[in-house]
Chains A and B, each alone.
Chain A
Amino acid sequence: MEKTLNTKFTYTEKKDTRSGFGDGLLEAGRKNPEVVGLCADLIGSLKMGAFQKEFPDRFFQVGIAEANMMGLAAGMTIGGKIPFTGTFANFSTGRVYDQIRQSIAYSGKNVKICASHAGVTLGEDGATHQILEDIGMMKMLPHMTVINPCDYNQTKAATMAIAEHDGPVYLRFGRPSWPIFTDSNQKFEIGKAWKMIDGKDVTIFATGHLVWEAVVAEAILAEEGISAEVINIHTIKPLDEEAILESVAKTGCCVSAEEHQLNGGLGDSIAQTLVRNNPVPMEFVGVDDSFGESGTPMDLMKKYGLKAENIVEKVKKALARK
């Protein structure tokens, strides 16, 4: 279906976003000798092997001990290192929340918490590993920057950008092979939303894997004569409120789309901005207060209502409320 649609962005190749992280880390390491890597027994899954091979003295295998990894990373910043920690999103956040809160966020440490296998698209491993609460947990922490890029190229660019940023960052990415539809030479600006498609009837604010679904949704809506604006919110915190308000001032309604719980996610942050400044009709695409389960990434996206079709449906609902 996607192939026959006239999407404004297209792809010829698919790749996992975690590979974007691994390649970005290698480049960041080449650029800056202070960059160090830590991993909790998931070097292959996190694609950190190339960095480990090239910089063995700047890479630390921590074993299955994520709490210690967060503390080590915080300590390494004292002495000027820029540590990148790698494990699954679940073990990067919920498992070590207090360590991140006290030793990293409250202590203002320059640690990059890099989290793979976020959301339901982790697939068959099931709900124990499919965290859908991580954005909420991380965005609640003062000092924390929260980034969820959309494809391989953007993840690579984001990884290199956070190495240059002073302060704690949560970088969220995923496991499945995903369309590469953004530019390989893009400049990643933390906190700056990217308007990918101009529209006038409705705005779709999307983050992570769902940016591609938003691009597809725009094409479906265009065929029905609905003009949707698509904005890529790769940085959930700090949120680009100016871009959000400027867009809804034009379109008058919006939909948020994320692979995350509705409670505490991107949609919540946007809604707060709108309620304070310009309350327009808004609908939400995300997981509605439920854990995930085993299945293929695509089956799970469908079952949990995260596909382009779900965005289209919510757009129509928002338009009807205008």
Chain B
Amino acid sequence: MEKLSIDQLNKTCSQVRRDILRMVHAVNSGHPGGSLGCTEFFVALYFNQMEHNTNFDMNGKNEDLFFLSNGHISPVWYSVLARSGYFSVEELATFRKIDSRLQGHPTTEENLPGIRIASGSLGQGLSAGIGAAQAKKINGDNKTVFVLMGDGEQQEGQVWEAAMYAAHHKVDNLIATIDLNRQQIDGLTVDVMDLQDLRKKYEAFGWEVVETKNGNDIEEVVSVIEKAKSLLGNGKPVMNLLHTEMGYGVDFMVGTHKWHGVAPNDEQLENALGQLEETLGDY
């Protein structure tokens, strides 16, 4: 796939944000907050950083793979998959509706191209990504596996089982990312269950750690992923701590957990879309 320029990436982000808002508004459900916050990351991966094949094959040999562990931010993933050509953008209109391939949380059951494992129940994606990365090693496939997790998700024990394993087994073809938006359903992570210093924790677990200070700045997102790639192949898994603002791109949604799992009403949608240019045409 052709790499988009920074300007094109920004334009794509604007359209993806419109898709997210229109999808959740249409069914009055879904998770806009985290989706909006991670838009730059998804766009950078799919339109600039990953070598991937939109002619989907489950085994994904000789291409980079992406796993979403915090499956509730499915709207941003579906939009990016459709916009990069895995399926038609019109299908975004079926999100969360009966008989759709775009389930509330991503699944393989309906054979949606681009999805390789179900996620939603938190804490499981890192394990799957590590398994896929090890399969690549056995196959002599030198491509990379990317995994995205939420920060609240770090409260799940399985994440730390996986973190310990990846370092012990030197899974150095893996770049995991944590969306550090500091929010979870019941409030701030620092109040609900403090994650403390994730850099120190992952370093203590034997990982290389890089940090994206502004995960909503596409240039920085791209450059840190490139830096993370440069650290691969040295016997250690790589962690990218991605600082984002939940709800980024819409002034009344930004920086609050209020929009974690709430859809905008008609008036709010209109207000939000007014802040985001329609760059690639709405579905």
Known contacts being A67-B157, A79-B60, A107-B118, is A72 close to B165, with CB within 8 Å? yes
B107 touches A107 (CB 8 A): yes
User: With the chains together, A73 CA to B165 CA distance in Å?
Assistant: 13
Interface of A is mostly: helix
**Pick the contact of A79 from B67, B109, B135, B158 — CB < 8 Å?**
B135
User: With the chains together, A58 CA to B134 CA distance in Å?
Assistant: 10
Q: A residues near B, CB below 8 A?
A: 36, 57-58, 60, 62-63, 65, 67-68, 70-81, 83, 98-99, 101-103, 106-109
**Pick the contact of A76 from B67, B135, B158 — CB < 8 Å?**
B135
Whether B138 is near chain A, meaning CB under 8 Å from some CB there, is: yes
User: With the chains together, A73 CA to B127 CA distance in Å?
Assistant: 8
**For chain B residues 145-193, which have a beta carbon within 8 Å of chain A?**
157-158, 161-162, 164-165, 168-169
A36 smallest CB distance to B (angstroms): 7
Q: List 30 A-B contacts (CB under 8 A).
A: A57-B138, A65-B158, A65-B161, A67-B124, A68-B158, A70-B127, A71-B125, A71-B126, A73-B131, A74-B128, A75-B67, A75-B127, A75-B133, A76-B132, A76-B135, A77-B135, A78-B59, A78-B116, A78-B132, A79-B139, A79-B141, A80-B59, A98-B121, A99-B158, A102-B119, A102-B121, A103-B117, A103-B124, A106-B109, A108-B108
| Residues of A close to B123: CB separation below 8 A | 67
Known contacts being A75-B128, A78-B58, A80-B59, is A102 close to B118, with CB within 8 Å? yes
**Pick the contact of B120 from A36, A65, A102, A109 — CB < 8 Å?**
A102
User: With the chains together, A79 CA to B165 CA distance in Å?
Assistant: 19
- Most chain B beta carbons < 10 A, residue from A75, A77, A79, A106: A75
| Residues of B close to A77: CB separation below 8 A | 131, 135
Closest to B139 in A: A79
| Residues of A close to B264: CB separation below 8 A | none
Q: Which 9 A-B pairs rank lowest in CB-CB distance, beginning with the nearest?
A: A75-B131, A71-B127, A79-B135, A68-B161, A65-B161, A75-B128, A72-B131, A75-B132, A76-B131
Q: What mask results when residues 56 to 82 of chain B are scored 1 for a CB within 8 Å of chain A, else 0? A: 001111000101000000000000000
| Residues of A close to B165: CB separation below 8 A | 62-63, 65, 68, 72
| Residues of B close to A98: CB separation below 8 A | 121
User: With the chains together, A74 CA to B158 CA distance in Å?
Assistant: 14
Whether B129 is near chain A, meaning CB under 8 Å from some CB there, is: yes
A78 touches B124 (CB 8 A): no
**Pick the contact of B138 from A65, A73, A81 — CB < 8 Å?**
A81
Whether B246 is near chain A, meaning CB under 8 Å from some CB there, is: no
